Chain A
Amino acid sequence: MSARWEVVIGLEIHTQLATRSKIFSGASTAYGAEPNTQACLVDLGYPGVLPVVNKSVVRMAASFGLAVNATVARRSVFARKNYFYPDLPKGYQISQYELPIVERGELFIDREDGSQKRIGITRAHLEEDAGKSIHEGLDGFTGIDLNRAGTPLLEIVSEPDLRSAREAVAYMRKIHTIVRYLGISDGNMQEGSFRCDANVSVRPKGDERLGTRTELKNLNSFRFVEKAINFEIERQIDLLEDGGEVVQETRLYDADKDETRSMRSKEEANDYRYFPDPDLLPVEIDDSFINAVQASLPELPDAKTRRFVDEFGLRAEDAGILTVSRQLADYFEAACAATAAPAQLVANWILGDLSAALNKEALDVDHSRVTAPMLASLVERIHDNTISGKIAKAVFDGLWAGEGSVDEIIESRGLKQITDASAIESIVAEVIANNPSQAEEYRAGKTKLLGYFVGQVMQATGGKANPGQVNAILKQKLDS
């Protein structure tokens, strides 16, 4: 990418709020039902029906606002955005326009150099989702399933503060982490509960004026966001460097071809004719509501990361990874509470063997076969020298396979570490006796060979000898 150009990106993230019922009706929001079985008269836009606002969506939006240090509006207004589309039953979408519930927030993303960058959040507003169109297998028809219609969404709009695809992804991940911490969204990208549109433009470095932007639609994975933005940046720069112009338009990312393409629209520019929805009154919330939401906020990822460093002495990088999800952080804290071993050791096990095992079976930490107390007792046995770190890996595998408790596995597999000095001494003596030439070389000054002897001893004990003791006894015998 040319060094002459500066990239400007703003994201609009649509996150589905984890309510039981829809934003304006009592229909279920459960995913995966038979078509149109969860679309009630209100969702269908039947003649005469009216919307009533779900209290949970207001609470959830407010909690997001507080979490990103934004202003939570004491008065917000639902408006109608008018346009015709078959997945939009009323011919308008109820959304918030001039008076959104959340305004002027911020969050911080980590740069590659370890520093942080502030990203402004312009606003977050509540709105209803549309239904789904099905194009396949209907003989030239499109089928409309309105189960998703009326599902509550929080649309989070960033300032155009992002300067690369990588920053955009870091910002999106941060939002993803926050909404899941708050418990306001499951963040499930496969099911479409967390998706994003990106506004991308480029301008010559040093220019104040923004370049013409394009809008990339419906990016539903972190990887696609990065690839789509990068493709688009290059496309725009190529265009400009060839003397062309960027056209303001909406483009779709095609993951198969790894390219963006213009969404052809034969009708003229949209004119949404927003106006306040007369079926709904202004949403007014008072201080006691805000205070209650504030009081119920969990510790947020940034604060938790800082605490993990301060309180547990973790490496900052490890603390950052452990706090990506509330569940993982909770697992870590639960394990630490159950062992006297250093927290960093617990962290190493979580980020190493446990994460690998979870990834392999695509499990999340809440469904781990090795629970936090189990991991704690494993680390505890390393800490009290019952087993070595290496043996512990075998015990972990046993735990994962459901062979019993840590102590049962150590016992049944005979993995207990040999710490009896006389036992180690006799094995050491035997190893030295079996390797006279190496012993002679060692004594002639080739002390590197100590490692060789340690290996021999460990092999002879099936890895169970305490490595520290082996070292000390070997030195003593060889040096004497």
Chain B
Amino acid sequence: MSTDSLHTQTLAELKAGLENRDFSAVELAEALLARIDAHDATLNALLTVTAEQALDAARQADDRIANGEARALEGLPIVHKDIFCTRGVRTTCGSRMLDGFVSPYDATVVSRLADAGTIMLGKANMDEFAMGSSNETSYYGPVHNPWNPACSPGGSSGGSAAAVAGRLAPAATGTDTGGSIRQPAALTNTVGLKPTYGRVSRYGMIAFASSLDQAGVITRSVEDAALLLGGMAGFDERDSTSIDHPVPDYFSALEEDLSGLRVGVVRQHFDAGLEEHTGAAVREALDLLKTKGAELVDVDLPNIDLSVPTYYVVAPAECSSNLSRFDGVRFGHRADDAEDLLDLYCKSRGEGFGAEVKRRILTGTYVLSAGYYDAYYLKAQQVRALIAEDFREAFANVDVIAGPTTPTPAFELGAKTDDPITMYLNDIYTIGANLAGLPALSVPCGFVGGLPVGLHLVGGHFAEQTLLNVAYSYQRDTDWHHRCPEAYA
């Protein structure tokens, strides 16, 4: 069989092909490395390509397959967001601060997926320290949306999303603090899943906002999301916030039947901020769920309008502290003309961090500082409790909450860089799930002006399977996810 079209296949298809010996893991890796060579100059989706390491791993995968020792994800190529520490491989987090940083250890997500047999092709570009919604804050330049190179693929997992949408890799890992998996997935016609907080280990994932960060996946199909999540979820004794809760076989348990499913629809999610055609696409998707047996139920989340301001207190507060370790002493950028210790700190950090990261550190420092803590930080954590309670009450009555992932399709690069607030409002529909620690998923649901938009599904704690089933069922009756940007077919 020709290897020319391997990049068009999903993880599930590739898995079958490898098992069937239609092609080898080495052939597969070579084909995708060639895709990266050919297309990444345009997309800028990858910061590091680990070709040699990938081919080594592929050879071992072929041996295992030959010996009948194939593991669950044997030989399947993926890329990791460059927020995950990878042993012996440059790990930049999209920042000048970590430009030359080579991690001495693997993140748990990385080691689990390697143990399951996946092959890392490289590290994906991202907003610096995951702070951004357009991939424009990366020190290494913006990622371009395969659907329109003048547009942003979203962020912060923009490199991961563009790599999958551009068929450079069948799947990628991402992280989501306020929408950083789901928003780029929606803007690139891919599936993005952010699991329940604590479902996937945060060990080795460079922290942005510890109480909100969660690792997840970006894939082309819901099946693939189920497959990949199964390879990375589970308890990790190195992460105090990871949950010791059984991991189901998400892939095998996929279920198309939606009869009796109660789907909550939140009024505020269809307010004026939602672009008209995007809203129409989402409504159409909801109607399809209804025809498949689901019942649509109005749901009230009275405090959801406060989720963005709440987030922009909590996340900067945590980040201001999390990023203090970057001081130019043990690792990372160090200014070379410091007069004294104070100067060393201020210059190293001043030079190593970009504008948005600095802005968030300053915001976080401000809201935690004496005189403001109660008014901002404590207040935000109270509002967060209210928002979480709203969700809890809603899920007593519905199985999932559905709505748009983003207010608009992809916007042009540079369109929102002047005003931080405009940029922040991109995550208006996604942030609630992070604040409450809930699993959420974005699935392609149409196009507006040639650009993709996504349907957003939120579930109760540990309801990943429900989300996957709804989205799987939806994809059985739609073909949005089969569409590919012309230049990347």
A interface with B by C-beta (< 8 Å): 41, 44-53, 80, 82, 84, 86, 89-92, 142, 144, 267, 271, 273-275, 278-281
Contact = CB atoms under 8 A, between A and B. Distances in A.
Contacts of A82: 320-321, 324, 368
Given A273-B369, A275-B368, A44 B210 contact: no
A46 B332 CA distance: 10
Nearest to A26: B238
A48 B207 contact: yes
B327 A84 contact: yes
Interface of B: 84-85, 91, 93, 98, 101, 103-105, 107, 202-207, 209-211, 237-241, 317-318, 320-321, 323-327, 329-331, 341-342, 345, 365, 368-370, 373, 377
6 contacts: A48-B103, A48-B207, A86-B329, A89-B329, A275-B321, A280-B241
Contact of A47 (B98, B210, B240): B98
A278 B211 contact: yes
A247 B239 CA distance: 45
Contact of B240 (A50, A144, A275): A50
Contact of A48 (B206, B323, B377): B206
Contacts of B318: 278
Nearest to A91: B324
B370 A47 contact: no
Contacts of B342: 267
B contact face: mostly helix, strand, loop, or mixed: loop
A90 B207 CA distance: 12
B96 to A, nearest CB: 14
A251 B181 CA distance: 51
A86 B324 CA distance: 11
B26 to A, nearest CB: 31
A55 to B, nearest CB: 12
Contacts of B239: 50, 52
A44 B331 CA distance: 10
Residue of A44, A52, A53, A278 most packed against chain B (CB within 10 A)? A278
Nearest to B101: A47
A346 B456 CA distance: 82
B206 A90 contact: no
Nearest to A39: B330
A49 B369 CA distance: 26
A281 B327 CA distance: 26
A184 to B, nearest CB: 23
Contacts of A50: 202-203, 238-241
Nearest to B317: A275
B240 A279 contact: yes
A48 B45 CA distance: 22
Contact of A280 (B207, B240, B326, B365): B240
A271 B370 CA distance: 6
Contacts of B101: 47
A84 B324 contact: yes
Contact of B321 (A44, A47, A52, A80): A80
B107 A48 contact: yes
Nearest to B366: A273
- Top 7 nearest A-B pairs (CB, nearest first) are A91-B324, A278-B210, A273-B368, A278-B211, A45-B325, A48-B204, A47-B206
Contacts of B326: 47
Nearest to A84: B345
Nearest to B205: A48
A194 to B, nearest CB: 29
A450 B62 CA distance: 108
A125 B237 CA distance: 24
B330 A44 contact: yes
The residue in A46, A89, A90, A142 that gathers the most chain B C-beta atoms within 10 A of its C-beta is: A46
B329 A144 contact: yes
B266 to A, nearest CB: 27
B205 A52 contact: no
Contacts of B321: 80, 82, 91-92, 273, 275
Q: Which interface residue of A86, A142, A144, A279 has the most chain B CB atoms within 10 A?
A: A279
B238 A52 contact: yes
A91 B327 contact: yes
Given A47-B98, A48-B204, A49-B204, A91 B240 contact: no
B103 to A, nearest CB: 8
B329 A41 contact: no
Contacts of B377: 275
Contacts of A84: 324, 327, 345
A89 B240 contact: no
Given A47-B206, A48-B205, 8 more contacts: A45-B330, A46-B104, A50-B238, A271-B369, A273-B321, A273-B368, A273-B373, A280-B240
Contacts of A89: 325, 329-330
A252 to B, nearest CB: 19
Contacts of A46: 104-105, 325, 330-331
B104 A41 contact: yes
Nearest to B377: A275
Contact of B91 (A47, A51, A91, A280): A47
Contacts of B330: 44-46, 89
Contacts of B206: 47-48
Contacts of A41: 104-105
Contacts of A271: 369-370
A11 to B, nearest CB: 26
Given A46-B331, A47-B206, A281 B241 contact: yes
A52 B373 CA distance: 27
Contacts of B103: 47-48
Contacts of A51: 240
Contacts of B238: 49-50, 52
A51 B240 CA distance: 7
A49 B103 CA distance: 11
B375 to A, nearest CB: 14
A8 to B, nearest CB: 26
Contacts of A275: 317, 321, 368, 373, 377
Contacts of A80: 321
Nearest to A24: B240
A86 B85 CA distance: 24
Contacts of B324: 82, 84, 90-92
Contacts of B91: 47
Nearest to B365: A273
Nearest to A87: B329
A47 B342 CA distance: 22
Nearest to A25: B238
Nearest to B201: A50
B325 A47 contact: yes
Nearest to A275: B368
Contacts of B345: 84
Contacts of A281: 240-241
B412 to A, nearest CB: 32
A279 B341 contact: no
B93 A47 contact: yes
B85 to A, nearest CB: 5
B310 to A, nearest CB: 15
B243 to A, nearest CB: 11
Contacts of A274: 368
A91 B203 CA distance: 19
B210 A279 contact: yes
A50 B211 CA distance: 12
Contacts of A278: 209-211, 241, 318
